[in-house]
Amino acid sequence: MGYKILEINIRVNNSEIDLIALDTKFDEIVFIEVKTRNSRFFGNPSEAVTSKKLKSMNLVANNYLRLKGYNKDYRFDIIAIEYLKGDDRLENPQIQHFENISWP
């Protein structure tokens, strides 16, 4: 997708972001939360990213941008991965990519 991974599992205080990447197509920083599930009992993995989680991601993002001295546009994405019953976990994951997530 034209992303260059910059960081993995970045923490600030008790908040964390799974991936930080550079979207080379748009020259913007992308803060990515990855959610994985092996059933739909609790719904789509993306539904686990609440407004509280997005707010904590925003805190980490602002600190990261300040510390690195980046002056770029940025956004939040979610990668939802499902391994449904009967699937070979390594070969058949269902992957959804939600770009530019916002919260109320």
Burial of 24 (0-12, 13-18, 19+ CB in 10 A): exposed
Residue 5 phi/psi, 5-degree rounding, is -70, 125
For residue 63, what are its two tokens?
């600190």
User: Do residues 30 and 70 lie in contact, with contact meaning Cβ atoms separated by under 8 Å?
Assistant: no
Residue 45 has pLDDT above 60, yes or no: yes
CATH fold, domain 3-98, is Trna Endonuclease; Chain: A, domain 1 (3.40.1350)
Confidence of residue 57 (pLDDT cuts 50, 70, 90): very high
- The 10s digit of each residue's pLDDT in 11-27 is 888 889 999 999 999 99
What torsion, rounded to 10 degrees, do the Cα atoms 21, 27, 71, 53 define? -40
What's the pLDDT score for residue 69? 94
Q: Where are the domains positioned within the chain?
A: 3-98
